Structure 1
Amino acid sequence: MGRSARDWDESDVRVRPNRRGSRPRTKDRPAHADAVIGFVIAVDRGRWTTLVDEGGEERTVVAMRARELGRTSIVVGDRVGLVGDVSGRADTLARIVRVEERESVLRRTADDTDPIERVVVANADQLVIVSALANPEPRPRLIDRCLVAAYDAELDPLLVLTKADLEPAGPFLAQYAPLDVPCVVTSVLSPGSEGLAALRERLAGKVSVLVGHSGVGKSTLVNALVPDADRATGVVNDVTGRGRHTSTSAVALRLPEGGWVIDTPGIRSFGLAHVDPTRIVEHFPELAEGTANCPRGCTHDEPDCALDDWVAQGHAGPNGAQRLDSLRRLLRTRTAQSGD
């Protein structure tokens, strides 16, 4: 006759004897107080290349992600804790056991409806948006999206316009004048060119991430900035007007003048599903105060928006109307297509 569940007690439970060397599992991760800190400069198929500086001596250490980190995102620019074989010798692997707190995070989504954020780089100081003035044609909406991403990540934006020998920069730059975005215009990227010298000055001592769609000359720019970078360059298709992806993964390269430049693969879209519109308004301080009188849920691009009166009354300064137009243009990027 079978026994009911209420007839069982703890004496009926078989306890497996402890095996030699086994330890009870715990959710507490080891502190790894002895971990050395590495700076991630490249990621390739589950292997992270890091730069370790101990006592002024640098060495490159390749590492894998420790099991206890699970699927924790680790990207170029991250500072990570390393244990195990951190000698940097050939055919050795260290383990990444933690990711240090990030000072900044540049993120994107596949499109404006995708809830999954993708971290592009960590701990950058400025976002360098590279666009050609011709061949291929500039894509203002993509540039606007990159500006929004920079504001959201609290990175300083820098606009770099290449191929100025094919098209004058003035007409295109006019639409960004109200945003006060610094810009560098380049044509011939020879070592002594004026544009390249100006760009070097803007990048010196900072961690800068370069973004731009394929064919704009981003890899050519990197090769001019870092002589031994040897980044592959491509050409623009005469039929489609699009460039071919030449950079396949992000990589950090040290600049001769100090600082780092992070080259990223060419992009064709930049989703902003993760961006809170209020964070964009915060980067327009002369307008942000005026939103206090807006109706609840105001998108700042509707008839009842209080910003129109704020600007009309002169609270936003002499360029208030142009700044408001620019703000609304950026806000609309969240509801437009994530590509062109």
Structure 2
Amino acid sequence: MARGYTDQDVEHYERPRRRTRPRTKDRPEHADAVDGVVVTVDRGRFTLVVEGRSVYAMKARPLGRKGVVVGDRVRVVGDVSGREGSLARIVEVTPRTTVLRRTADDDDPVERVLVANATQLVVVTALTDPEPRPRLIDRALVAAYDAGLAPLLVLTKADLTSPDELLSTYRSLGVPWVVTHRGPDREIVGLEGIRERLQGQTSVLVGHSGVGKSTLVNALVPDADRETGHVNAVTGRGRHTSTSAVMLPLPDEAGWIIDTPGIRSFGLAHVQPEHLIEAFPDLDEVTEDCPRGCTHGEEEPECGLDEAVEAGEADAERVASFRRLLAARSVTDY
């Protein structure tokens, strides 16, 4: 027969109760918070620009798992003096106007936000050494259109080969471009054309390694001091020199540029055909009577794009270029 507990048994005593304050849904208003812009992210620490000063900050606990990325506009409390050893706290991320995303692979369900609040995507590619990769360019353009960013194509190393063949691929899409090359004194010829396109914009520079992206950044922002690399003679690929995205102000407050690490893939699992065609209003208009579920690809029966081309209401070359972008979502060899 089991004996009962006595006052000498440990189990007799009541366990101590946790002494915690009751939870509340009320959150501090942070009336003293100031505005800042995230310019770098490094292992949970953020560098911000607050009233012209560089301020280091961490994310406040109530933000939970909410990601904070380069380009985010935030509200900050705490020590925003920017003095060495000071640390502020990000308490709010304001709504984003644009979001540039990519996935690691086309079948990867996890999206990665690259930057926020950009207005322009600058696709930098070399005409040779390393050889251009049109399919990677196409994928970057798809990401730009999907995010609502204006695209710009910058072609480097035109002193080594002509840009005409590559440019002919994108004329029908209406993508603006700037061609650069090295002058006799190693200066970058065409830099002024890039500066004009960057004026008043927040521009994200993307491209695979070795195309001269960091060289352009150093020329546009003299004190950027971005490391530049070289192209491997055996593989034809560049070495990664930028390891994280950084947002830099252009001289004379002309705008911002965001330099990103060199990319070797640009997954587009998040892009839907109906979103992509919305970036081409003239083509979107002629697809209003497409059958339900039409992807507007080449194999689609009764697609409005084909009917518009036959009727002379749409440019055949432009439709073909759009469908090339559409096909880039499923082409893995780039």
Q: Does TM, scored on the shorter chain, surpass 0.5? A: yes
CA contact (8 A) 2:104 2:267 kept: yes
Q: Partner of 1:311 in structure 2?
A: 309
Structure 2 portions without partners, runs of 5+: 3-13
Q: Please state how far the C-alpha of 1:34 moved relative to its aligned partner.
A: 2.0
Task: Indicate which of 134, 147, 155 corresponds to 1:140.
Answer: 134
- Compute the TM-score of the two structures, normalised by the length of structure 2: 0.91
- The one-letter amino acid of 1:313's match is A
CA contact (8 A) 1:286 1:315 kept: no
Q: Please state how far the C-alpha of 1:310 moved relative to its aligned partner.
A: 1.2
Q: Partner of 2:68 in structure 1?
A: 74
> Partners of 2:281 and 2:128 in 1: how far apart?
34
Q: Partner of 2:163 in structure 1?
A: 169
Q: Please state how far the C-alpha of 1:66 moved relative to its aligned partner.
A: 1.1
Task: Indicate which of 299, 320, 325 corresponds to 1:325.
Answer: 320
Task: Indicate which of 116, 129, 142 corresponds to 2:123.
Answer: 129
* Closer/same/farther in 2, CA of residues 303 and 18 from structure 1, 3 Å limit: closer
Q: Partner of 2:228 in structure 1?
A: 233
> Partners of 1:15 and 1:291 in 2: how far apart?
69
- The answer to whether structure 1 residue 59 and structure 2 residue 34 are counterparts is no
Q: Partner of 1:282 in structure 2?
A: 278
- The one-letter amino acid of 2:101's match is R
* Closer/same/farther in 2, CA of residues 177 and 93 from structure 1, 3 Å limit: same
- The one-letter amino acid of 1:161's match is L
> Partners of 1:108 and 1:222 in 2: how far apart?
22
- The one-letter amino acid of 1:39's match is V
- The answer to whether structure 1 residue 96 and structure 2 residue 90 are counterparts is yes
CA contact (8 A) 2:182 2:189 kept: no
CA deviations 1:229-254 (Å, max 9, x no partner) are 11000000011100000000000111
* Closer/same/farther in 2, CA of residues 303 and 79 from structure 1, 3 Å limit: closer
CA contact (8 A) 1:149 1:275 kept: yes
Q: Root-mean-square deviation (CA), in Å?
A: 1.9
Q: Please state how far the C-alpha of 1:83 moved relative to its aligned partner.
A: 1.1
- Structure 2 residue matching 1:90: 3-state secondary structure: coil
- Structure 2 residue matching 1:291: 3-state secondary structure: coil
Q: Please state how far the C-alpha of 1:300 moved relative to its aligned partner.
A: 1.0
Structure 1 portions without partners, runs of 5+: 3-13
Deviates more, 1:267-276 or 1:306-315: 306-315
> Partners of 1:216 and 1:137 in 2: how far apart?
9
- Compute the TM-score of the two structures, normalised by the length of structure 1: 0.89
Q: Please state how far the C-alpha of 1:72 moved relative to its aligned partner.
A: 1.1
CA contact (8 A) 1:191 1:224 kept: no
Q: Partner of 1:246 in structure 2?
A: 241
Q: Partner of 1:268 in structure 2?
A: 264
- Structure 2 residue matching 1:293: 3-state secondary structure: coil
CA contact (8 A) 2:38 2:48 kept: yes
> Partners of 1:99 and 1:191 in 2: how far apart?
43
CA contact (8 A) 2:294 2:300 kept: no
- The one-letter amino acid of 1:288's match is D
CA contact (8 A) 2:274 2:295 kept: no
Task: Indicate which of 107, 113, 121 corresponds to 1:113.
Answer: 107
> Partners of 2:311 and 2:25 in 1: how far apart?
59
- The one-letter amino acid of 2:132's match is P
> Partners of 2:63 and 2:292 in 1: how far apart?
41
CA contact (8 A) 1:133 1:161 kept: yes
> Partners of 1:315 and 1:296 in 2: how far apart?
21
Task: Indicate which of 167, 175, 182 corresponds to 2:176.
Answer: 182
> Partners of 2:116 and 2:56 in 1: how far apart?
18
Q: Please state how far the C-alpha of 1:17 moved relative to its aligned partner.
A: 6.8
- Structure 1 residue matching 2:170: 3-state secondary structure: helix
Q: Which runs of 4+ in 1 moved over 6 A?
A: 14-18, 189-192
Number of residues paired by the alignment?
A: 319
Within 5 Å, give how 1:151-166 maps onto structure 2: 151-166=145-160
Q: Partner of 1:5 in structure 2?
A: none
> Partners of 1:251 and 1:187 in 2: how far apart?
25
Q: Please state how far the C-alpha of 1:191 moved relative to its aligned partner.
A: 9.2
Q: Partner of 1:23 in structure 2?
A: 21
- Structure 1 residue matching 2:50: 3-state secondary structure: strand
CA deviations 1:238-271 (Å, max 9, x no partner) are 1110000000000011111411110000000000
